[in-house]
Each structure stands twice: as structure tokens, then as C-alpha cells.
Chain A
Amino acid sequence: MPVPVPAIELKNITKTFGPIVANKDVCLSAFRGEILALLGENGSGKTTLMNMIAGIYYPDAGQIFIDGQEVVIASPKDAFRYKIGMIHQHFKLVDVFSAAENIVLGLQESERFDLAKVNEKVRTISETYGFEIDPTKKIYEMSVSEKQTVEIIKVLYRGADILILDEPTAVLTPQETRKLFAVLRRMRDAGKAVIIITHKLHEVLALSDKVAVLRKGVYIGTVLTKDTNENELTEMMVGKKVSLNIDRAEPKDPQDRLTVKDLDAVSREGIKVLDDVSFVARSGEILGIAGIAGSGQRELLEAIAGLQKVGSGSIIYHDPKTGVDEDLRNKTPLEIRDLGVRLSFVPEDRLGMGLVGDMDIADNMMLRSYTKGHSVFLERKSPKTLAEQIIKQLEVVTPGVSTPVRRLSGGNVQKILVGREIAAAPTVFMAAYPVRGLDINSSYMIYNLLNAQKESGVAVIFVGEDLDVLLELCDRIMVIGSGRITGIVDARTATKEEIGLLMTKSEHIEGLHEEGGAKHE
């Protein structure tokens, strides 16, 4: 048998965005009938690389070969011509269209458009690969996993035989992930080249045939999955093996700090986003919140911070100094601050909500404090001092305090934000996905900061996505599903499977290891 030619081969691909080198001299090949996992930390350039194959970016230098022929992919149309299909992390679907309509959208077929025929073809594809999909269902009625299925069928319908999936499991439950993997294996067996981008090691080991690793935009190497193990891959990915190893102390003298009771909230679109949520956050402990993305985590934190209108229910803050209880329900952030409630909040959207991207670090420090004093003018001295302090303490990599935060890398942006929120000396500290997109070292710094807050007696609420981290870092984990609390478990005894099960449960039942605090009355 002749040496097989790779379905797609990249040679010395380089791509820069201003000062940031996203990919440097990356070489990579993927073969038909094989699943290649592209592994790397967040920000290591995996998505950028794949976007160049999909025609979204154009490489600064390097070559791309399809079946041994050098090609130029200058647009998604070119990618489509070479039968490359990419399933992006953020779905690109039209909500009010049906699955089938989305699938054929943008196709230029010469024959007349026949929806019945399309539906039929979609069903055939579904059967071949084992999808469960109703072609006539509208996108807005679909779950995240169904939407993903539509995206996959969309590229298959177009005849793609090189498939790229960008972090497909990020939004899925463990059960849905298993289903997806079965589908991907069937595609491999049908002779397609499958590339899956991920940073989750166990998925790589479970699914792929080969693993290619990127670190900080540089190609490290490709190994056969059967010849490798978690340790080796971690080492390739981050350089040296690191473990979470957080010194989780028992909560010291926990006091009820925030009591949320029977909280309801409706989104702007009129959909119920919080449904009868009740829980207690205590001082000196970390309360983790787990759940599939978009299950109401954001709304819950924003409701507490005064950014989300709520219906019925109450959010009682127990002031540790005065002992007075204040209801924060439907108060504005300013009113909450005026009550003397020291609430810090690290929102999910750092540059869109927590910080102002075009402002420099010092001016971003001022966001929380600029109203102080009666002068009509700004006082820029102390924010600048604070900025310098945070840069030093949290090892922020920046040219200086007057650099716009947009120019910093994700990890440094987050350090600035977390640093500012901690500097406010909070009694309640809320963080939503604080390590998303951060490299391992920055992530650990954030975990340690959260842990330090807890030890100094702050009530920490931590919304996370990595269950392993939640289990190692938190004291209790509250699971939220479709806006309802499906359980509160002890993080020291709970298992990943338990939490996974709770994440998919839509009806409320008492948690498996439910503790006293959040009982339903």
C-alpha cells in the first residue's frame, strides 16, 4: 500500500494579530478515517488555526495542502469547495428558521428549492450517522445540543469530508457528549477526516486516534492516542505538570451572609430564567454553581448585583457589622452600594461589562470609585496607585498603567478585573467563569485569590464550568438547570457523575447531599 496522503496538511502556518502571534510555523496533517484532536490551552491558537482552514482568516505565511495539492483558502467559499466544514463554538443559525431551512441556507443549487426533498435528505444523513433531529423544528425551540446537531448536518449536507469541530463539548452535558462522540466515530468510519478542538484531556483520550498539541501558538507535536497518557499530554500542553493542589480549609465560623429565597426572574424576551431559586451563601466558604451554560447562572448573579429585574422572592443581605438585614431585590447597583453592602462581582463578559476595553488600566480601576468625593473633577492618583499595586502583586504583563486593557491578553485582563474587585474589600464576592480563556498559571492564580478571599471570611460565589475544579475548590456546589436549583451538594463528598446528573435534571428534587441551608419550605 502506498503511503497515504493527508486529507489536509498545513506547513509553517503563521498568523499574527497586531502584537499577538496566534500561530507560529505550525505544521499539521489530518488523514481520512481518523479523528485528530487538536489540543491546547485556551488562547493557544487552536481556533485561529482552524479558522484559517475554514477560510475565515488568511495566514500571513505558510502553505495549505488538500490531498497533496497546494491550495489557497481565501474565503469560506473556497473552504466549501475543498469540502471543508467547520462547526464553530458559537452557532451561526437563524433562530426563526427550521432545522432544514438553516441547513440549506446559502446553498446555490440550480434546481428549484424543495423543502420536502431537503427534509428527506436531512433524515437520510441523520440515519446514517445516528443523529436525532426533526428537520421541521424551529431553531429557537431547540436545545443547545440539537442546535449543534443542526450545525453538523449543515456541513455534512454540503458534502464536507474534512470536519472541524471547535470545542463541541463545551456546551454539552456528559450524556450529550457521549452521543456526539458516537456520531463522530461513525463519521470517521465513513472515511471522513475529523478534527476536534478541545482542551479536555479525558475527551481526547476517549475519542481521538491522534493528538496534535499547540502551546502558545507553537506546534509542539503529534502523538498517537494509544501511545500516550494524560500526564504526557499535559506536559506537552503546559510545559510542566501542574496540579490544582489547593489547600482547601474547612470554613471558619460560617455565618449566613446572603439568603436568596424563592427568586423568580423573566428575561427580556419573556422567558423564565430563574424559577424559585433559594439558597444561602455563607461567609468563609466558597459556594460553587455548576450547570450547563445558560441555565440561569448569569441571571442569578446579575439579580444579586442589581442588574437583572426579578419578579417575586427576596435577596437578603445580612450585614456582618451592623447585623441589619437588607433586601437587595430590585435595587440598582448604586443603591446597593449606598446601603453599605460590599458586593464585588466579576462578570462573565470581562471587556463588555467588567471593564472598558479602550480605557487604560488606571482608568479602569476608577470604574468602582470615581464617584467618591464632591469635586466635579476626577481624582486619578489613587486609581493609578491601585493599578500599579495590582500589576505588581498579580504579575500582570503590561507595558504600563496607561495601556488600554483591550491590548492585554485574556489572563491579564482578568487579573486586572479580579484585582479591582478584591481591592474593594468585599463581604460577598461573586465570580462568573473567572478562568474562562485563561492559561493554567493564570487560572491557578485566580483560584488562589478566590481561596484567599474565602479564608479572610468573604462569602464567595463561584460559577464554574470545569467540574473537577469545582469539586476541588468549593465547599458546597449548587447545581442549576433551566433556572431551577436541582441540588446543593457537599463538594468534599460529591462526584462528577452526581453533578452531571443534576445538571440535566429539569424538575426540582432535593439534592443528593442537601445541606441545611437551602431547604425548600
Chain B
Amino acid sequence: MSEAKDNSTQKLHEPLLHIVKRAGISRPKAWLIRLLAILLALVLNALIIYWLTGLNPIAVYKTMIDGSFSTKRKFWVLLQNTAMLLCIALAVTPAFKMRFWNLGAEGQVLIGALSSGALMFYIGDKLPSGVLILLMLVCALISGIIWAGIPALFKARFGTNETLFTLMMNYVAIQLVNTMIAVWVPSGSGVLGIMNSKTNTGWLPTIFGQKYAINIIVVAVLTVFMFIYLKYSKHGYEIAVVGESENTARYIGINVRKVVIRTAALSGCIAGLAGFLLMAGSAHTVSSTIAGGNGFTAVLVSWLAKFNPFVMVLTSALIEFLQKGAGEIAQAFRLSNDIADIATGIILFFIIGSEFFINYRVIFRHKAHKEGK
């Protein structure tokens, strides 16, 4: 090709860059891109923090780490919070793998907590703690199943949109919790307070001297279970097939309705378990904010980990760490929470954004031209 001709036609509106899908990428390279993204996010954050507050970014980052690791108690709180977030993420994962967009985990957790809380409130000291705990667990699981099962039934029967349906069920659950609290607390303060704080009936026992140990162990077991269930069980296989292509599922004779309802029920069941763990294992009270938005954060955790339960341990820990760190920064430097939120937001944005560069290559104009020669 003649180079001269090329120069005479330089007034082209050729796009500055265009995007090409990668053929595949080696694992180390993918992790390098992710690492680079986090580093870049940290640098950008440092600049923004310095520009907005004039603080030393290194000190700020150190404070951030202190938020989770400075005391033993803080570390245990980090573990407990990670466990709870992970539990809810594990709940949404089978549904998501089936492309059933369960955005109702928040409500399913709430309803699980509410129903087990109701048992604590009404039966309270009339039963031995062990029996009560068992009853609470069963109730929480069943209510979680019902809360996720209703949208699933409607989807399987009438093809309704599960995203909207599960989302709406959250608000029903919130209002239900508020109503029950109004009934239970005659003073009208709207705060239930910690239940059975004297007798501790319906509280999970403390083991290894740690209040949260049981919660953490339960979620750890659940993580392993979910990994095996999705990867090695026939149910897991059916979930994958239905999620990938309903037509293929029909073609090989999978009862799609059954799988949808079964999987959504499992999803709700685990969310209900999370509600129970909150009630019996840590909070011992119920309010409409007890799930703290984790029902939605769990969606992020699950997606970031590409639905792999073991990777979800990392992603949930990361998000909890960022949140704790953000809180600590706000407190230590007497900043508004917004700055901390900006910082976490930037880190997450970069992590998610790095996936794009793992899947695609960006080619710039002159480079493309050179390659063409």
C-alpha cells in the first residue's frame, strides 16, 4: 500500500479507538488487570482525598485498615458482618445462576427475622431455649421460602416479572415489620429493643468465647454446601441449564416450572436463615433496617464473584472492609460519611470496570493503522 495515498486522505472521521473482544486471557494476566485497577483506584482516591480535605492520604488509608483490624473486637465484627453479607449473597446466588433476578433478599431476610422474633416475643420464656431456637429456625426458613416462593409461583404460572415482584415484596416485608413493632411496643416508640436480654432464651450459645462463632461456622458450612450444590449436584446442573437456555431445558425434558420454584424457594430459605441468624445470633431484635441493605449489596457480592461461592468470601469481606474503613475514616477525621462513600464507590467502580478490560481489548487509531500495514 502506498503511504502517500494514506497521508492525502487524513481527513477521515475514523473513530479514535475501537473495541475488540479478546480471544481469551490467561489467569495471571486477568489478575494483574484487577490488581492494577485497585491500585489505580487507590491513587485516584488519594488524590481526591487530598484535594477535598488536605489530609495525608497514607494516614487516611491506615485509618481505613484500623477500622477492621485495630482491635480484636473490630476484627470479630468484621467477620460477623462478612458472614451475614455472605449468607445473603449465597441466598441470591442459585436464583441468579438460573437468571431469576431475586432482588427480594432484603425482604426475605426481614421476614425470616420477623417470624423468629415473633416466636421470641410470644413464646419467649415458656419453652426451653433449645426448643425455641429450633422452632425459630424452622419458622424463619419457611417464611423465607414463602416470601421468595410467591413471586416464583407467579412467574412459573403466569410469566410475571420476578425482578419487580421480588422488589415489591421487600416493601411488604418492611411494612409488616413496622406494623408488628407498633403492635408489640405499646409505647409507640417504634423501637423493639433487645429481646430476652435477661434470660437469653432464643439466643444462640456463645462458643469458643465468641458470640458470633456459631454464625460464622454456619455460613462457612453453607458456603461449601452451595459450592458443591451448584457444581456437582443434579439440581445445580438443572439450574445452569435453565439459566442458560429455557428451550434447551424443555428439549431435554427438565420441568422448568419445578426448577424455577424449587430454586427460588432455596434462595428464600437461605435468606430466611440469614434472618434467623440475625435474630438468634447477633441482633436479637427486629427493625425494618435490620438487614441494612445487605439484600442489595449481596447482589453485588454475588456478581463480582461470578457466582462462585468461594470467591464470594473474598468479595463480601472486601465490601465489609471498605464499609468499616469508610466509617472509621469519617469518625477519626470528623469528615462527613459522604467522603468515605466516594472512596468506596471509586474502588468498587474500578474493580467492576476492570472486567471490561479483561474481556475486551481497546485499539487506538494509529496502532490499528500500523497493524494494518
Chain A positions within 8 Å of B, measured between CB atoms, are: 11-12, 14, 16-19, 58, 60-63, 69-72, 74, 305-307, 332-334, 336-337, 345, 347, 349, 351-359, 363, 366-368, 370-371, 375-378
Residues of A within 8 A of B74 (CB): none
Query: What chain B residues lie within 8 Å of A375 (beta carbons)?
Result: 234
Distance between Cα atoms of A333 and B250 in the complex (Å): 8
**CA of A354 to CA of B248, assembled, Å:** 6
* CB<8 Å pairs between A and B, sample of 22: A16-B20, A18-B23, A19-B24, A60-B371, A60-B372, A61-B368, A69-B9, A71-B12, A72-B15, A306-B253, A334-B255, A353-B245, A353-B247, A354-B248, A354-B251, A355-B248, A359-B240, A363-B237, A370-B234, A371-B234, A376-B233, A378-B232
Once the chains are docked, how many angstroms separate the CA of A14 from the CA of B15?
Answer: 16
Given A353-B245, A356-B240, A359-B244, also A337-B21 (CB < 8 A): no
Instruction: Report which of A11, A17, A62, A378 forms a contact with B234, defined as CB distance below 8 A.
Output: A378
The answer to whether A377 and B234 touch (CB under 8 A), given A347-B251, A352-B245, is: yes
Report A-chain residues with C-beta under 8 Å of the C-beta of B251.
305, 307, 333, 345, 347, 353-354
> In whole angstroms, how far apart are the Cα atoms of A272 and B303 in the complex?
43
Q: Which residues of A contact B236 (CB under 8 A)?
A: 378
Inter-chain contact B22/A60, CB cutoff 8 Å = no
A334 neighbours in B (Cβ, 8 Å)? 253, 255
Residues in B neighbouring A11, C-beta threshold 8 A: 1
Q: Is the pair B255, A352 in contact by a Cβ cutoff of 8 Å? A: no
Q: Bound state CA distance, A333 and B249, in angstroms?
A: 10
Query: Which of A332, A349, A377: most chain B Cβ within 10 A?
Result: A377
Binding site for A on B (CB under 8 A): 1, 5, 9, 12-15, 18, 20-24, 232-237, 240-241, 244-245, 247-248, 250-253, 255, 363, 368-369, 371-372
Cα-based distance from A386 to B24 in the complex (angstroms): 26
In the complex with contacts A17-B21, A334-B253, A358-B244, A70-B232 CB distance below 8 A: no
Contact between B9 and A70, CB atoms less than 8 A apart:
yes
Given A72-B12, A333-B252, A376-B233, answer yes or no on A58-B22 (Cβ-Cβ < 8 Å).
no
Query: Which residue of chain B has its CB nearest to the CB of A305?
Result: B251
Give Cα A242–Cα B5 distance, bound, in whole angstroms. Answer: 43
The answer for the CA separation of A358 and B306 in the assembled complex, in Å, is: 14
Tell me, rounded to whole Å, the shortest Cβ–Cβ distance linking B263 to chain A: 15
- Determine if B233 and A332 form an interchain contact, defined as CB atoms under 8 angstroms apart: no
List B contacts of A12 (CB < 8 A): 1, 372
CB of A58 within 8 A of CB of B18, answer yes
Assess the A333–B253 pair: CB atoms within 8 A.
yes
Closest 8 CB pairs of A and B: A61-B372, A334-B253, A333-B253, A19-B23, A70-B9, A18-B23, A353-B247, A356-B244
B368 in contact with A60 (CB, 8 Å): yes
Complex Cα gap A18–B241 (Å)? 25
CB neighbours of B5 from chain A (8 A): 70
Give the CA-CA distance A72 to B9 in the complex, in Å: 11
